Amino acid sequence: MCGETRIAEILASRECRRIRDERLAPSAVLFLLFEREGECYVLFTRRSDTVVHHRGEISFPGGTIDSDDSDLLHTALREGAEEIGLDPRDVTILGRLDDVFTVTTGFIITPYVGVIPYPYEFQINEDEISELIFLPLRALAEEYRVEASEVTHFHIQDHIIWGATARILKQFLDLTYKQ
């Protein structure tokens, strides 16, 4: 239902835009897809109110690179393990999206698209994450089509997705839901 082969082909067929700016901190996130009840879902997290950056915001699992990380994919997988208890061996990486940056907090974010099994026994680190949010990809795509072409946020169910997370989601939808 998630179309993993098609998504992997789309991501492999393009050159990803990379941002290089030593004033910005390198970071990486996991754009995670999973199938539930025959439908494709996207996993989001809500940041806790105690983290330094992006308190209470909806985001993807991820964070900044550590000196022990071999690369940004390792960063994304390590952060997924730390934040939501995701075993890196359970993630099938399909590819990556273009880097995005955060203006106010100074991060370069490299998004990796992956698929995980479901159901999954997540272990939430409550110091960093206050909740997991599962949203149907189809509903996100429909919300995107309703909005203007310069969508900067998604309002779905009781959730508002904005900022870098919305830009990452928009890019994924632009690539996979072209009309």
Does 179 reside within a domain?
Answer: no
Give tens-digit pLDDT for 35-70. Answer: 999 999 999 999 998 865 556 689 999 999 999 999
Give tens-digit pLDDT for 141-179. Answer: 988 766 555 557 898 999 999 899 999 999 999 999 864
Mean pLDDT across 1-14: 95
**Rounded to a whole number, what is the largest CA-CA distance in the chain?**
44
Does 168 reside within a domain?
Answer: yes
The closest of 97, 99, 79, 75 to 24, measured between CA atoms, is 99
Give tens-digit pLDDT for 69-125. Answer: 999 999 999 999 999 999 999 999 999 999 999 888 899 999 999 999 999 999 999
Does 157 reside within a domain?
Answer: yes
Total domain count, the chain: 1
CA angle at residue 143 from 163 to 101, to 5 degrees? 20
The closest of 83, 68, 80, 140 to 113, measured between CA atoms, is 80
Does 177 reside within a domain?
Answer: no
Does 84 reside within a domain?
Answer: yes
Range of the domain at 18: 4-172
Domain with 82 in it: what CATH number? 3.90.79.10
pTM of the model: 0.94
Q: Distance from first CA to last CA of the chain, Å, rounded? A: 19
Does 9 reside within a domain?
Answer: yes
Q: Are 83 and 51 in contact (CB under 8 A)?
A: no
